[in-house]
Structure 1
Amino acid sequence: MKLIKFVWAVLLTLAVLTVLVILPTVLVPTEEGLRLDFMSVRRQFIVLGNSLVSGDFFIYRSGRYMRNLLESLPAYTYTTFYYALFGSIVSLFLGLFMGMFLLRSNKARLIETAGFISLVPDFMIATILQLLVIKLTGLTGLNLVRIASTGSDRKAILLPIITMAVTAGFYLTRSIYSHSYKELGEDFVLFAKAKGIDRRNIYIRHIFPSVVKNLRSDLKKYLTLIISNLFIIERIFNIPGISRLFFTFAYSVGWQYTGAAGKGRFTALISTQINVALISLIALIAVYFTVYWILYGILRILLKAASGE
């Protein structure tokens, strides 16, 4: 029964993803502007079906060459997985540390600052960090941190992870602090205080396990934030991850000048490779669930350690 449910879930997911990646082809540019072409949806389904039958589903066009996604995809997927994993781990421990620290210090100014930082968009934080590095490089002459990736062997690592740590980490900080503050008024905490248990043990044995359990239940929401941020961060820092595969090959826009000289107009030429878009999203989902189970395991270890098991 579980196997049947799993198969249905996979098939439904694939169907939804297929519809999503085909929808942009409904908008077709013309000389008069954009028009809706619902017949293109049918054509794209036929193209996908034919590619599956012929075995060309994993073949995509890269400039004048035809390449195989089975050869290209692992490098893009590993890069996204690398940043998603380390960014989420750093964010997780930063959020736990800052949340518990704010609970113990209980300083209103720090709490308000953490709440404000959690609302700052990721692209703004990335831009500020890049500008700071450029300024420091100009002042010191030392270029110790890359502000963008310039090749497969020269990737920007520190700034993207810091950006994710700040955006997702302070989101967790606010969430952890709010949950912990509520827990301080619960009966089991008040009972522990009445028994004379010191504050440190109350935090370790009572508050922290409750925080970890709450994190475990909100893990999907937190990881969704990480992945959505990473899709933007990869573009900002020129990281060769899944987003590059998606935006470069799945949907690309060119421009063609039509009409007489001086009186013509530029027309958008949209090239779509639905198989690339579909496989990119499937790879992103695979990264999501892989990182999810790793983080879930880390939280289980933290929970056992805090419970003394």
Structure 2
Amino acid sequence: MARFVQQMVIIFILILFLAALPTMISINMEEKSIQWSFSQFPAAVSDFISQLSQGNLGTYQLGLQERSIAQDIGDNFITSLIIMFFGVVIAVFISVIFGIFLSRLRMTKIFRMMMNVLSTIPDFILIVLAMLLAIKIYKWTGIRVISLRPDGGALNIWFPTLLIAVAPTLYMFKLIAEKYYQTSGEDYIRTAVAKGMNVHTINFQHVFKNIEPFIIADLVKVISLAIGNLFIVEYILNVSGITKFIFQSTEIQPIAIGLISMLFISFIVYLSIRLLIYLFKRGFIYE
């Protein structure tokens, strides 16, 4: 418990330091150099804590308007949470299905080749290419699959969700496929095959149960990849998510609130995926 509290304190200080960076950095035009003003950090932290203690979350800039964080944070938080949650769920689902249960099919080999090619392309380039493809689809068919308006409705949810899922899927599928082939060569798998057990039974009762610890262990890495892409996707697609507080201001208050909210989103998504994996086990493996 003491270690957990210590980690939380360190994370909180780190978030405040990152949020205060814009106020601590200035450019000296005469000397053409960057100047650091670390003396402003304690004052910025004190002001942040003071406003929070008064129940004031502060304001942020949205274009030429100055809006209240408390007024917008609820909807923005839910939007980012939905995109993150379903993006990670899609990544884990596709990786498990193709990496374990459909691994012997020919289409999985084609899917694996596609994943290997896509994994060589940087995430930012993949996002840009996906946007260009969406624009081309609109020109060819008249069907709009992308919106750059903050009030785009469902278009600001499902398309960003797919983009968020790309990098985690590439990482998770490669991990599961590698562990699957390692596990398939174990003696207990060969014994199960020799006894005539069904392939699906082996995958459920033996393979998945032995790969599951690796999935859970790398779940934090998967969520971190999704969070990194969330910053890019919400900024490029003009999604009204939690990152607006980070990008729309240089003050410590909205940036710190945005980063802390991202931390809560990551924690909620992590617990939710763990719960889904547990329910999957109870429903399909231990029945």
Which ranges in structure 2 are unaligned for 5 or more consecutive residues?
none
Does the Cα contact within 8 Å between 1:90 and 1:165 map onto a contact in 2?
A: yes
* Whole-angstrom CA distance in 2 between matches of 1:49 and 1:87: 33
SS in 2 for 1:242: coil
When the two structures are aligned, how many residues end up with a matched partner?
Answer: 283
Q: Give yes or no for the alignment of 1:148 onto 2:126.
A: no
Q: Per residue, is there more strand in 1 or in 2?
A: 1
Aligned-pair distance for 1:300?
A: 0.9
Q: TM-score, normalised by structure 2?
A: 0.86
Conserved 8 A contact 1:208-1:306: no
Instruction: List gaps (5 residues or longer) in structure 1.
Output: 252-272
Q: CA deviation at 1:184?
A: 0.7
User: In the TM superposition, what is the alpha-carbon distance from 1:247 to its structure 2 partner?
Assistant: 0.6
1:60 aligned partner, one-letter code: T
- Counterpart for residue 61 of structure 2: 62
CA contact (8 A) 2:138 2:145 kept: no
User: Over aligned residue pairs, what C-alpha RMSD do you find?
Assistant: 2.6
**CA drift at 1:116:** 2.3
Q: How far 1:135 sits from its partner (Å)? A: 1.9
In the TM superposition, residue 99 of structure 1 has moved relative to its aligned partner by 1.3
Corresponding residue for 2:269?
A: 291
- The Cα offsets for residues 232-255 of structure 1, whole Å up to 9 and x where unpaired, read as 111121111111111102x2xxxx
SS in 1 for 2:243: helix
Counterparts of 1:172 and 1:88, CA distance in 2: 10
Q: CA offset at residue 46 of structure 1?
A: 4.3
Question: 1:276 Cα deviation (Å)?
Answer: 1.2
Is 169-178 or 8-17 further displaced after alignment?
8-17
Name the residue aligned to 1:240.
240
Give 2:137's aligned residue: 136
Q: Which residue in 1 is equivalent to 2:260?
A: 282
CA-to-partner distance for each residue in 1:153-201, whole Å, 9 max, x for gaps?
Answer: 4642332222223322222111110010000111211221232323332
* Residues 91-119 of structure 1 deviation map (CA, whole Å, 9 limit, x = unaligned): 21111122126631477665343222234
Distance 2:41 2:200 in 1: 61
For 1:203 and 1:70, the matched residues in 2 are separated by: 48
Equivalent residues of 2:96, 2:173 under 8 A apart: yes
**Judging changes above 3 Å, is the alpha-carbon distance between structure 1 residues 145 and 69 closer, same or farther for their aligned structure 2 residues?**
same
The letter of the residue matching 1:120 is I
- Deviation larger for 239-248 or 186-195: 186-195
CA distance in 1 between counterparts of 2:66 and 2:148 reads 28
- 1:40–1:120 CA distance, 2 compared to 1 (3 A): same
SS at match of 1:241: coil
Cα distance in 2 between the residues matched to 1:165 and 1:223: 10
The share of aligned pairs that are identical, in percent, is 24
Q: Please list, as runs of the form range in 1=range in 2, the aligned pairs for 1:167-206 lying within 5 A after superposition.
A: 167-206=167-206
Q: What pairs with 1:37-76 in structure 2 (closer than 5 Å)? A: 37-48=37-48, 50-52=50-52, 55=54, 57-62=56-61, 67-76=67-76
Say if 1:133 and 1:147, in contact at 8 Å, map to a contact too: no
CA distance in 1, matches of 2:200, 2:179: 17
- The aligned runs of 1:225-264 (5 Å cut-off) are 225-249=225-249, 251=250
Contact 1:126–1:160, Cα closer than 8 Å, also in 2 = no
Structure 2: distance between partners of 1:13 and 1:74 = 23
The separation in 1 between residues aligned to 2:43 and 2:174, in whole angstroms, is 48
The 3-state SS of whatever aligns with 1:35 is: strand
Structure 1 residues 298 and 108, CA gap change in structure 2 (3 angstroms): closer
1:27 is matched with 25
Greater relative contact order structure (CA < 8 Å, 6+ sep): 2
| Paired residues of 1:216 and 1:296 also in contact (CA < 8 A) | yes
Question: In the aligned structure 1, how far is the partner of 2:87 from the partner of 2:99?
Answer: 18
Q: Secondary structure at the match of 2:59?
A: strand
Give the letter aligned to residue 254 of structure 2. V
Q: Is the 8 A contact 1:123 1:236 kept in 2?
A: no
Deviation (angstroms), 1:143: 2.8
